[in-house]
Chain A
Amino acid sequence: MKKYSGFSLFKHSLSHHENWQAAWRSPQPKKEYDVIIVGGGGHGLATAYYLAKVHGITNVAVLEKGYLGGGNTARNTTIVRSNYLWDEASKLYDHSLDLWKDLSQDLNYNVMFSQRGVLNLGHNLQDMRDIERRVNANRLNGIDGVVLNTAEVKEIVPIINDSQDIRYPVLGASWQATGGVARHDAVAWGFARGADSFGVDLIQQCEVLDIVTEEGAVVGVKTNQGFIGAKKVACVTAGNSGVMAAMVGLRLPIESRPLQALVSEPIKPIIDTVVMSNAVHAYVSQSDKGDLVIGAGTDSYNGYGQRGSFNIVEHTMSAICELFPMFSRVRMNRAWGGIVDTCPDACPIISKTSVKGLFFNCGWGTGGFKATPGSGNVFAHTLAHDEAHPLAAPFSIDRFSTGHLIDEHGAAGVAH
């Protein structure tokens, strides 16, 4: 892999940038691999990278039915934080946050991870009680966090509407200073380039049509480019996980819902941090290009169309104008949708299945982006050792039958 740097930019600009190497190869699939990862989004590519880098397993293929990173990774609101309520969840997200910190250097690809902090607003007394409990628990887990009052929130976000006379006044917020945002496409491309440099084959436009098993064990997958053999198949297909599971007669506790987001046109810097509000169902940050990046809640119905109903966006716009009355004059420029795989307890499923050699990493719902490196990292361990990584163990699919659910609906931060 040719190294990127400021000097290499200068060197290439002397030759009109015509000689950059392809960021990754476009190989033909081999007949067989040790591991096949189905799904070339952020989590799948991260899994491939860590399998190769940490566990030395490089005879791996990532099969992506579209183009790399083109699903939820391409269309989320890029928030990174680890301030969840329960130990199991916050430890997993915090592991991910640790990996984020050095990710650009690790991948030699600037993922533009910006630790500009995340605010979760409270608009009524119960919100504030929940916030206090969550932040206290975070601190006892070694995760940073403070509880702010209205005036302190205003100091961080001067343009926020701090009037106590509105319908949902800002009473305070939790603040995780080490949280922030990252460039979503860059994460996918960085992991892709990294995995490819270790010899992992990234096969795009390759759709898995069936998972083939013999005597209860995986032997490979049937794709639109033919059969590819493997003893381990890992499905990292987010909203399409149910479709994959059905191929082996499995049913997951997952429903795929539309989730929408939008950006404004580029404006000069006006907000430096991430602001999230459950009560008014909106969250906002500003990209390095100047766009306001705004996320909404999920639509209530199942949907695979990567689009939702516009009344959800309308409501989010109202909420944004509530919190930031000057944004009323700013224009919405692009809106889009994705498919999120929601789980009954708003926590993921990182698990073996009853089919030998078949693993699933899904159910991240609306909160998957922040977990991209962490998810890939622990899932790679699970695949390599055929045993759950300790941080992944609580998220086995068994928890639904045993009753050990980890309910993170409040901390998940997005209206379901």
Chain B
Amino acid sequence: MSGFRHGAGRLGDAQLNFTFDGKPMLARAGDTVASALLANGVEVVGRSFKYHRPRGVTSSGPEEAGALVTIGAGGKADPNARATMEPVTQGLEVFSQNCFPSPKFDLMSVNGLAGAILPGSLFSAGFYYKTFMWPAALWYKFYEPSIRAAAGMGVPPKVADPDIYDRIQMFCDVAVVGGGSAGLSAALSASQSGLRVVIFDEHNDLGGQLLNEANSDQNADLEQWRKDTIAALEAADNVTVLARAVCWGRFDGNMLAAHQSVDGKVRQNYIKVQAKKIIIAAGAIERPLVFGNNDKPNVMLASAARRMLNHYGTATGKMLAVFTNNDSAYQTAFDYSDAGIKVSAVVDSRQYPSEALVDGCMSRGITLHTQAVVTEAKGWQAVRSIEIADLAANGQSVSNRRRVACDVLAHSGGWTPQVQMAAHGGKPPIYDKTIAAFVVGDQAPDTYSVGAAEGENGLLAGVAQALEAAKAACAELGGTAGAVTAPPQDRDGATNIVPLWSVPAKGKQLVDIQHDVTAADVVQSHSEGFVSVEHLKRYTTLGMANDQGRTSNVNALAIMAECRGVSIAEAGTTRFRAPIAPVSMGGFAGREIGKHFKPVRRTPMQEWHEKAGAVFVQAGMYMRPQYYPQAGETIDDAYERETEHVRKKVGICDVTSLGKIEIVGPDAAEFLDRVYINMFSTLKVGKARYGVMLREDGIVYDDGTTSRFAEDRFFMTTTTAKAGPVMAYLERCLEIDWPELKVRVSSVSERWGAMAVAGPDARATLTAAFPSVDFSNEAFPFMGVVHAEHNGAKLVILRISFSGEMAYEVYATSEHATDIWQTVVDAGQAYDIVPYGLETLGALRIEKGHVTGAELDGRVTLGDVHMDGMASKKKWFVGKNLKQREGMVHPDRPQLVGLKSVDPRTPISTGSILVTEANATAGADKQGWVSSMTYSPELGSFIALGFLRGGKDRIGERIYAAYPVKGKNVEVEVVSNHFVDPTNDRVKG
């Protein structure tokens, strides 16, 4: 129990209650879970991944690597939440992770015992590659399941997420990433130009490092500056302040992405901002030092210990020690001392810290050890003392070890500018020796890195850089940035760092405390030849946990550089990629979940079908009626009834989903001649023709019916699935391939509703429905086109048949389509008309032998489906050249056949493979497959369409449709694919 509540910091008095592993705790409004836990004296928050070592709070921000908790329970559980970023709310439930039964007493910590006994860990880097291989069977049966069971950190919820997420798209002129002193200044200055500004900050309270400052009288003017600047931004009309927003990616074209936590109905907003200029003021985060047991709870970054005290009013311990290689950590010691908390030592690895710092220690009675290091943090569960030693002049060894008591150790290995956002998109950062850090250097276009994010830690100097950037950004957009008041105090940015990448002493020195990767692992990786930083990362897994290596990457590559004997610049960094912090997946989905995942296209008659009790099925983006069951019918009952009914009487089917395209112009016929395999320039006005299009490689692309309305006007239909692609294809042909053709194309798919009316009584039905039209065979022959009007609706009626019965397709302008449908249905009552769905549409067309997408699957040729005769020999058309390739006309190619079940009552399953053996097993000669099947009421048998090697010459042969998945083998007879009315008498009657 080291931490305690000390003063107010900047938080108010409002008390909150929350629980940690069920235990009641107190907090104040504005606390994070981390600051509250520390204030309640909690030290051990969870356990580490590999060794199950105790973990506590290590930072006060997004770089948190130790205090990962699960917030909430059930469907609202949020695993792997960083305690330093989660605000406490009334009644919040917080749970520890990766430990059982509790963080303090964890059974899996035996993993770490092996480390206590052996000098080097059994579980060193890449250990799993070197073992678990014998006996072979045990890998899958035992080793792997054991590894998997121990994997992961938090437990994810197992029920659906009940929360709502929104997606928001914003546009702005200047985006500012980071709400510290630099970011605030840049945003305010830019906003005064009148340009649109968006500013992001990850925390609830803006101010960045200003929040580390003591909330004292001496700092009152600085605090006022912070508040005033924020207030001015919030008041400005042209500024959007996004707090609690993690800006995690910068993409091509100056697009930024962020996830913002909000309260209320919506849990998070996924915000994309399209900016013109981006100012990156993302600050810097402190680096840890690498020494023995540096992962022990209550060993934390110096600036974090400082923020806990000064902002949250949480003293992290009763006796503070500080270990540092640079100036900045001293302020933590001074602030704690000035707050009346004992500071047992400042341990500085440098030989000569500045006089001001030495005096600062002396005047406060703080013992200063120079040219000294901490070799080990000691204490059972949390730090209770440190072992320190003198550092040799050459930095290679230590001597004179002694103990110093403390219950919190604040350390600082330097500062790492947050260059990730600036580096997205490829340019690697460069190493600056003077500050021992990577900076952006070469800025991406339209991007400015300023302040600590570019290595400038000084307060006024950073603000000055930010204002320069705002001025430049605005100027390039034609605006003038405004003058803003600078902060009333300065803070020296120079850290006078002397790098100390690891302490030269044996012991478990953690580099990545999330994945338990030690300095020794890095050395071992080097000795095994994994020396590139990419190999190092993948071999040791360092930097691959939730914290993404924010506090470990630089230390690790510096150690590797030392092993290799190269400069840090040469060792380089791994590639920076979005996201720079883990972001929840739900945000990306937003509200487009469930039924809203993709839009549903509806036809004008959709409601009619719903009222008629249709069962719907997915057909592309549409939900089309599959069948209209009558009382007690199964799908098979329904479609068999509907099919028979259409063949004997009359039925009506909604075919609106077909693509419809108008093609207009003096060269329209020539155009169609080029895209279709058959001739359309010879098509007479008032007639329709079935057409097939090929791809340029000779494969069948789409089919449809095209009608000629006038010399220069055609009306094309396409399949449902290809409506969009064919439209784009035609536009492409006209704009790119044949711009000389005078043709316009227009999609009219949504302009027309469409219905098929089919059956022996179709003519009578339509005559009754539309008395103004002459439907007699002489006036309206097969493949004829008639235009009509009815009750204000424009109609186009084609006499074409997909079903093989006498049939018409009636196209009506969309706003009237339902009326027209109803008109036909009403007129059809006298003829016992029924609606029929896709299942029946399928049964009818299979009986007739027409092909659909089930056959034309992007792999078949005209020859395969017996349509090569349709292709004109007189003209060129797309695909003509490559369809002649040897492999495309090979006689062994599978060809379309009809299949009739030898036992009429035995169904032939689609997806069956055609073989000649009765009981085909592995190795059988596969000769084809079944593509569509149906029960045929007319034939009283199950039938199918399929493809069979050399099929057209095998009519009459008996083969088998093998379905090994269910152990079935159905004997079938190969027949012509035209089962019903092969001479087309019905359609032409």
Partner of B528, one of A22, A319, A399: A22
The yes or no answer to A28 lying at the interface (CB within 8 A) is no
Size category, B interface: 35 or more
CB <8 Å contact, A288 and B144: yes
The yes or no answer to A131 lying at the interface (CB within 8 A) is yes
CB <8 Å contact, B858 and A105: no
Closest B residue by C-beta to A139:
B964
The yes or no answer to B595 lying at the interface (CB within 8 A) is yes
Chain A, 130-149, contact with B by CB distance < 8 Å: what is the 0/1 string? 11111111011110011100
Partner of B153, one of A185, A265, A307: A265
Partner of A401, one of B133, B541, B885: B885
The yes or no answer to B397 lying at the interface (CB within 8 A) is no
Partner of A110, one of B132, B593, B596, B618: B132
The yes or no answer to A1 lying at the interface (CB within 8 A) is no
The yes or no answer to B869 lying at the interface (CB within 8 A) is no
Closest A residue by C-beta to B598:
A167
CB <8 Å contact, B527 and A330: no
CB <8 Å contact, B589 and A18: no
In the assembled complex, the Cα of A124 lies from the Cα of B588 at a distance in Å of 25
**How near does chain A come to B644, taking the closest CB pair, in angstroms?**
22
CB <8 Å contact, B532 and A4: no
The yes or no answer to B160 lying at the interface (CB within 8 A) is yes
CB <8 Å contact, A307 and B148: no
In the assembled complex, the Cα of A19 lies from the Cα of B506 at a distance in Å of 16
Q: Restricting to B160-179, which residues have a CB under 8 Å from any CB of A?
A: 160-161, 163, 165
With a CB–CB cut-off of 8 A, which chain A residues contact B538?
74, 185
**How near does chain A come to B143, taking the closest CB pair, in angstroms?**
9
The yes or no answer to B264 lying at the interface (CB within 8 A) is no
The yes or no answer to B233 lying at the interface (CB within 8 A) is no
The yes or no answer to A250 lying at the interface (CB within 8 A) is no
The yes or no answer to B888 lying at the interface (CB within 8 A) is yes
- With a 10 A CB-CB cut-off, give which of B506, B912, B915 has the most chain A CB atoms: B912
In the assembled complex, the Cα of A21 lies from the Cα of B157 at a distance in Å of 44
With a CB–CB cut-off of 8 A, which chain B residues contact A327?
156, 585
User: Given the interface contacts A13-B122, A329-B586, does A269 sit within 8 Å of B130 by beta carbon?
Assistant: no
In the assembled complex, the Cα of A269 lies from the Cα of B79 at a distance in Å of 13
User: Given the interface contacts A167-B598, A289-B152, A318-B593, does A313 sit within 8 Å of B588 by beta carbon?
Assistant: yes
**How near does chain B come to A294, taking the closest CB pair, in angstroms?**
9
User: Given the interface contacts A74-B534, A110-B139, does A268 sit within 8 Å of B698 by beta carbon?
Assistant: no
Q: Restricting to A131-174, which residues have a CB under 8 Å from any CB of B?
A: 131-137, 139-142, 145-147, 159, 161, 165-168
Partner of A317, one of B120, B527, B529, B585: B585
The yes or no answer to B149 lying at the interface (CB within 8 A) is yes
Q: Restricting to A312-332, which residues have a CB under 8 Å from any CB of B?
A: 313-314, 317-322, 325-332
With a CB–CB cut-off of 8 A, which chain B residues contact A105?
133-134, 136
Chain B, 104-139, contact with A by CB distance < 8 Å: what is the 0/1 string? 000000000000001111101101111111101001
CB <8 Å contact, B585 and A331: yes
Partner of B529, one of A26, A159, A288: A26
CB <8 Å contact, A110 and B528: no
**How near does chain B come to A41, taking the closest CB pair, in angstroms?**
13
**How near does chain A come to B735, taking the closest CB pair, in angstroms?**
19
CB <8 Å contact, B584 and A331: yes
CB <8 Å contact, B589 and A13: no
Chain B, 567-598, contact with A by CB distance < 8 Å: what is the 0/1 string? 00000000101110011111011101111111
CB <8 Å contact, B544 and A334: yes
Q: Restricting to A100-148, which residues have a CB under 8 Å from any CB of B?
A: 102, 104-105, 108-110, 112-115, 123-126, 128-137, 139-142, 145-147
Q: Restricting to A271-295, which residues have a CB under 8 Å from any CB of B?
A: 280, 286-290
Partner of A333, one of B119, B131, B579, B600: B579
In the assembled complex, the Cα of A159 lies from the Cα of B159 at a distance in Å of 8
The yes or no answer to B923 lying at the interface (CB within 8 A) is yes
CB <8 Å contact, A403 and B923: no
CB <8 Å contact, A267 and B964: no
CB <8 Å contact, B579 and A104: no
With a CB–CB cut-off of 8 A, which chain A residues contact B579?
332-335
Size category, A interface: 35 or more
CB <8 Å contact, A132 and B911: yes
With a CB–CB cut-off of 8 A, which chain A residues contact B593?
318, 321-322, 325, 328
**How near does chain B come to A326, taking the closest CB pair, in angstroms?**
5
CB <8 Å contact, A22 and B527: yes
Partner of B120, one of A13, A204, A336: A13
In the assembled complex, the Cα of A287 lies from the Cα of B585 at a distance in Å of 18
CB <8 Å contact, B617 and A125: yes
CB <8 Å contact, B529 and A5: no
Closest A residue by C-beta to B425:
A307
The yes or no answer to A30 lying at the interface (CB within 8 A) is no
CB <8 Å contact, B589 and A318: yes
CB <8 Å contact, A12 and B120: yes
With a CB–CB cut-off of 8 A, which chain B residues contact A140?
913, 915, 920-924, 926, 962, 964
**How near does chain B come to A85, taking the closest CB pair, in angstroms?**
9
Closest B residue by C-beta to A326:
B157
**How near does chain B come to A196, taking the closest CB pair, in angstroms?**
9
Q: Restricting to B874-895, which residues have a CB under 8 Å from any CB of A?
A: 882, 885-890
CB <8 Å contact, A123 and B963: no
In the assembled complex, the Cα of A290 lies from the Cα of B147 at a distance in Å of 10
**How near does chain A come to B32, taking the closest CB pair, in angstroms?**
18
Closest A residue by C-beta to B80:
A265
**How near does chain B come to A97, taking the closest CB pair, in angstroms?**
14
Partner of B156, one of A26, A102, A326: A326
In the assembled complex, the Cα of A18 lies from the Cα of B522 at a distance in Å of 11
Chain A, 176-215, contact with B by CB distance < 8 Å: what is the 0/1 string? 0000000101100110000000000000100000000000
The yes or no answer to B853 lying at the interface (CB within 8 A) is yes
CB <8 Å contact, B965 and A139: yes
CB <8 Å contact, B962 and A329: no
**How near does chain B come to A169, taking the closest CB pair, in angstroms?**
8
With a CB–CB cut-off of 8 A, which chain B residues contact A6?
130-132, 134
**How near does chain B come to A183, taking the closest CB pair, in angstroms?**
8
In the assembled complex, the Cα of A154 lies from the Cα of B548 at a distance in Å of 34
CB <8 Å contact, A87 and B887: no
Q: Restricting to A16-63, which residues have a CB under 8 Å from any CB of B?
A: 16-24, 26
In the assembled complex, the Cα of A399 lies from the Cα of B697 at a distance in Å of 13
In the assembled complex, the Cα of A320 lies from the Cα of B887 at a distance in Å of 40
Q: Restricting to A51-105, which residues have a CB under 8 Å from any CB of B?
A: 67-68, 70, 74, 87, 102, 104-105
Closest A residue by C-beta to B144:
A114
In the assembled complex, the Cα of A23 lies from the Cα of B536 at a distance in Å of 13
Contacts A21-B528, A331-B582 known; 15 new A-B pairs at CB < 8 A? A13-B120, A24-B529, A137-B926, A140-B920, A166-B594, A183-B129, A189-B129, A264-B582, A265-B582, A266-B151, A269-B149, A318-B589, A326-B158, A330-B584, A402-B886
A-B contact pairs, 30 of them (CB 8 A): A5-B130, A6-B134, A13-B121, A17-B120, A18-B527, A24-B529, A74-B538, A109-B129, A110-B130, A110-B132, A110-B133, A132-B910, A133-B911, A140-B924, A140-B962, A140-B964, A168-B597, A265-B582, A266-B546, A267-B79, A288-B147, A307-B425, A310-B251, A321-B585, A321-B586, A328-B593, A333-B582, A334-B577, A403-B882, A403-B888
Task: Give me the interface of B with A, judged by CB distance under 8 Å.
Answer: 49, 75-80, 118-122, 124-125, 127-134, 136, 139-140, 144, 147-149, 151-161, 163, 165, 249, 251-252, 255, 257, 425-426, 506, 520, 523-524, 527-530, 532, 534-535, 538-539, 541, 544-546, 548, 575, 577-579, 582-586, 588-590, 592-598, 600, 617-618, 697-698, 853-854, 857-859, 882, 885-890, 909-913, 915, 920-924, 926, 929-931, 962-965
Task: Give me the interface of A with B, judged by CB distance under 8 Å.
Answer: 4-6, 8-10, 12-24, 26, 67-68, 70, 74, 87, 102, 104-105, 108-110, 112-115, 123-126, 128-137, 139-142, 145-147, 159, 161, 165-168, 183, 185-186, 189-190, 204, 264-270, 280, 286-290, 305, 307, 309-310, 313-314, 317-322, 325-336, 344, 399, 401-405, 407, 409-410
Q: Which 6 A-B pairs have the closest CB atoms?
A: A132-B911, A290-B152, A403-B887, A403-B885, A328-B586, A325-B160
